[in-house]
Amino acid sequence: MKLVSTLALAAVMTIGAATTAAADGHMETPVVDGVPGPEQDPYIWLEEARSEAALAWVNNENERTLAVLETDPRFAALKAEALAIFDSEDRIPFVSFRPDGLYNFWQDKNNPKGLLRRTTLESYQTDAPEWEVVLDIDALAAADGKEWVYQGSSCLPPALNKCMIALSDGGEDATILREFDTATKQFVEGGFVLDQKSQGGVSWIDENTLLVGRDFGEGTLTDSEYPFTTRVWTRGTDIADAPEIYRGAASDVSSGAYLLRDNDAVIHARMARRGVSFHESEYFIEKDGEWLQLDIPKKANPYGIVDGHMLYSTDVDWTVDGQTFPADSLIAMDLEEWKANPNGAAKTLVWAPAERQTKRGGAITGNALFVTLLDNVVGKVLQFNFTNGEWVSEPVALPDNATLGIAASSDETDQIMYTVTGFLEPTTLYYSDGSSAPQVLKTSPAYFDPAGMEVEQHEATSADGTKIPYFIVKPAGMAMNGETAVLMTGYGGFQVPRLPGYLGSTGKLWLERGGAYVLANLRGGGEFGPGWHQTAIRENKQRTWDDFIAVGQDLVDRGFTSPQHLGIQGGSQGGLLVGTAFTQRPDLFGAAIVQIPLFDMLRYHLIGRGASWIGEYGDPRIPEQRAWIEGYSPYQMLREGVDYPSPFLWASTADDRTHPAHARKGAARLAELGQPYYYYEDTTGGHSGGVDNEQRAKLQALQYIYLMQRLMDE
C-alpha cells in the first residue's frame, strides 16, 4: 500500500475513536478499531520508504550512529576481517546441476554484484576449477545504470538453456524478468520481457509459452501485495492480451497456477495453489477444463513425483479412507491413478516421524527421493525408493552429530551433493553419483581458530514449564562467574529451524575476542516439527518470547553471564523476538541488536508484506486477535521511565518485505522518550542487508563494535 492510501485508511478507521492518556507513559492506541492512525502515531510518515523527509531522517541517524561506532579504533580491523571472509577466494563455490554444466553465482571484491558462471564436473572436482562466465551482473548494472541484484532464474526443462532472469534494483523482493539464452550467453533480442517490477514469477510451458503470475494492474494483487491471478503468455503477443487461466482471491496471501512436471520434464498436470493464509493453502488440479480442488488438509501440500507416484506432505494428522497419517508424514499415490481420480486414489504411507524427529527438505533425483531430517536437532538424510511394491528407505552414510543439508541434485541422474557443518567445523561438501557412498569433494577454509572453544547443549524452563533447548559455544573451562560476554540469538517463527552451522565471521569477530555465542531453539520454529511451530503462533505467540527470555535467564542463573554482559540479536521475525525481549525484560539484557525487524505490530498488516503474516500473528483489526498482539508489540510497549539496553536497530531502505518503517519508528519512539539507542539504515540492500560484500562487512563490523562497547568494555 502506498503511504497516501495507508494514511487515508488509517484516518477512516480512526474517525470517532476515543483516546486516553496512558498513566504509565506507553503509547495509547484507539479503543475502537485498534489500528493507530496519524493522531495516535506521530511517526507514520516514516512508513514511506523513500520520501524526502524520511531519507533526511535516515541520513541524520546514520551520521549520528557512524560517529560513535565507525570511529571506534577497532572498527577498521573488524571490517577487514569480515571482508576477508566474505571475499575469500577459497570458500566453497556451491553449484547447481544443469545439462550444460555446474552453475555457480559468485561475488568477490572484483565482482561485487556477482557472476553467473559454469564449469564441468571434472573441472569442479579439482582444487582450481576453470569457470566460464555466463552473465556478469556488474557489467549489466553499469550498462543499464541500475543497482541490479541477481535474484535467480526460471529455466525451461529439460535443457534449461532458455531462462527468465530475475533482477531487482537495489535488492528489493520485487523484480523485473528478462529472457536469457545460456547457450549464447545473451539476452534474447525481442524475447520475453517483464520490465515493470513486481512480485511473482513465471513457469515455462514450452519455448514459446509462459505461465505468468505478476502485478497486472488493478484487481490482480492480494491485500499482501502478491499476485493472485495467472495468465498464459505466448511469444510475440502483448502480456496485456494474455488470457487469464486462474484467479484466486484478494484476501489470499498469494495464489497462482503452476505445472506439475516429473524429472524427465513431462508435464502431468496443470495445478494451482491458493494461499488462504501464510500456513494454509488450497490446491487445485485442472481436469476437463475445470479447477478441481484437492481434498487434502489446508496444512498439506503436493510434494512431487517419485518412482511413478504422486507424493503429498502433511503438517497435521490426516484421517482419510479409514487410516490416519501423522503430522509431518509423506504419503504416496500411484501417479496414473491419481491423475484419473485425484481425490480417490489409494494412499500409502512413505514415512512418518519418530518422537523429536522432523523432515526439513528433500530432493528428487533421476531415480530416488532424498529427505533431510532433524533427529533431536541432529541431521540425517534418508534415501527412499519404491521397490517390489513397497517404499523402502536407508540412511545416507554421512557424519554423525552434524547439521546436514542437500546442496544440489540432478534431475537426470542420481548425482547429489550434501553439506556437513557445525559451529566450530567448517562446512564440508560431499558428492555421490549414486553408485557409492558420498565422498568429500570440497572443504571450506577455517576462518577462525577454534582452539580452546567448546559446544554444550542445555535446557531452560519456559514460563509454562516447557523445556527449551539451547546451544552455547564458549571458551573451554571458562569461569562461571557471570563475566563472559554472551551473544544470544534465535528465531522462533514460521516453522523455520535454527541449527548449528559454521560460525565464520562470528567466530572471527566475536569468539576469538573472548565472547560466547548462544543459539536458542524456540517454539514457533521448526526444530521439532509442525507441532513445535503450531504451539506458538497467533494467540500463543507469547510462548516464543517467553522461551527466549527463559534461555537468557538460564544463562544468568547458571553463571555463564550476567545481564550487563548478555546481548541479544535477531533479524526479521528474530528482530521482533529481540524487540519483545528487551521491552518485556529490559533488566535482563545489556545490548540488543534489532535487525530488519517487525516492531509495530498494530500496523504491521499495512506495512511491507505484513498482511501475509496474519496466519502467524493474528489480525490487529479483529478485537480478540488485537488483544493477543498489543500485549507484546514492542513499539507500543516502549514506556517512559524504563531503562532499555541502548538497542541498535538497523534496516534497509530497499526492504519491501518487512520494510524499514518498523526499525525507523522504534528509533524515533526511543528518541522521543529520551532513551539512548543506535540506528543505521543500509540504503542499498534488501531484506537480507548489504548488496555486496563491502557493505555486508561494514554491517558486521558496526554490530560487533556495538556489542563490544556494550558488553565487553568497562
State the catalytic residues: 572, 687
Q: Which residue has the cell 560484500?
A: 693
Neighbour count for residue 11 (Cβ, 10 Å): 12
Quick one: how far is CA 61 from the chain centroid? 27
Alpha helices in 502-572 (DSSP H): 505-509, 530-534, 542-557
Task: Let me know: does 523 contact 532? Beta carbons within 8 Å.
Answer: yes
323-325 and 357-364 strand pairing: unpaired
Among candidate residues 690, 713, 517, 714, the one with its CA nearest the CA of residue 82: 690
Q: How far apart are CA 487 and CA 466, in angstroms?
A: 23
* Residues near 322 by beta carbon (within 8 Å), at least 6 away in sequence: none
Measured in residues, the chain has a length of: 714
Helix, strand and coil content of the chain, in percent to the nearest 5, comes to: 25, 35, 40
CA dihedral 634, 638, 644, 645 (to 10 degrees): 30
Query: What is the arrangement of strands in the sheet containing 309-314, beginning at the earlier edge strand?
Result: 300-306, 309-314, 330-334, 348-351
- Angle 674-679-682 from CA coordinates, rounded to 5°: 160
Instruction: Give how far Cα 428 sits from Cα of 379, 402, 418, 442, Å.
Output: 14, 11, 8, 6
Residues 578 and 568 sit within 8 Å (Cβ to Cβ): yes
Q: Give pairs for 543-547: CB < 8 Å, separation 24+.
A: 543/462, 543/463, 543/464, 543/466, 544/492, 544/493, 544/577, 545/577, 545/580, 545/581, 545/584, 545/632, 546/462, 546/463, 546/464, 547/460, 547/462, 547/466, 547/468, 547/490, 547/492, 547/520, 547/522, 547/523
